[in-house]
Structure 1
Amino acid sequence: MVNITRAADLTMVGANGGAWVAPVGTAAPDSPLTHPLAPWAALGAISEDGLTNGWDEESQAFTPWGLTSPFRTQITQSVRTFSLTMWETSRKSVMSLQYRIDETEFTADVEGITRFAETASPTPDRRAFWFLVVDGENYRGFYVPDGEISERGDVEYKQDTMSGFEWTITTYPDASGNTVYHADKIPVTPADPLS
Structure 2
Amino acid sequence: MVTIARSDDLAMVGANGGGWAAPLGTAQPLDPRNAPTSPWLALGTISDDGLTTAFDEDSESFTGWGQSAPFRTVITSSVRTFQLTLWETRRPIVRSIMFRQDLTALDPDVEGIVTFAESATVTPDRRSWIFDIYDGTLWERIYVPEGEVTDRGDDTAKQDEMRGFEITITAYPDAANNTIYRSYLAPELDEVNS
CA distance in 2, matches of 1:36, 1:7: 31
Give the Cα–Cα distance (whole angstroms) in 1 for the partners of residues 52 and 131 of structure 2: 10
| CA drift at 1:12 | 0.9
User: Structure 1 stretches of 5 or more lacking a match?
Assistant: none
Aligned residues: 193
Q: How does 1:1-195 map to 2 (within 5 A)?
A: 1-189=1-189, 190=191, 192-193=193-194
Q: TM-score, normalised by structure 1?
A: 0.95
Deviation at 1:127, TM superposition (A): 0.2
Shift of 1:192: 4.3
- What is the CA–CA distance in structure 2 between the aligned matches of 1:27 and 1:71, rounded to whole Å? 41
SS at 1:95's partner residue? helix
Q: Which runs of 4+ in 1 moved over 4 A?
A: none
Q: Is contact 1:139–1:186 with CA below 8 Å preserved after alignment?
A: no
DSSP 3-state at the match of 1:47: coil
Structure 1 range deviating more: 145-154 or 181-190: 181-190
Cα deviations by residue, 1:29-70 (Å, 9 ceiling, x for unpaired): 122231211111111000000001111000000011111111
**Could you tell me whether the CA contact under 8 Å between 1:138 and 1:186 is conserved in 2?**
no
Displacement of 1:191? 5.1
The whole-number CA distance in structure 2 between the counterparts of 1:131 and 1:108 is: 29
1:150-193 residue CA offsets vs partner (Å, 9 max, x unmatched): 11000110011001110110000000000000011142252545
TM-aligned CA distance change 1:191 to 1:85, over 3 Å:
closer
After superposition, the Cα gap between the structure-2 partners of 1:16 and 1:175, relative to the gap in structure 1 and judged at 3 Å, is same
Return the alpha-carbon distance in structure 2 between the equivalents of residues 191 and 8 of structure 1: 11
The change in CA–CA distance for 1:61 and 1:108 in structure 2 (over 3 A counts) is same
- Residue identity opposite 1:95 in structure 2: R
Partners in 1 of 2:182 and 2:129 — Cα distance?
12
Conserved in 2, the CA contact under 8 Å of 1:10 and 1:186? Answer: no
1:26 Cα deviation after fit? 0.6
Q: In 1, Cα distance between the equivalents of 2:63 and 2:192?
A: 39
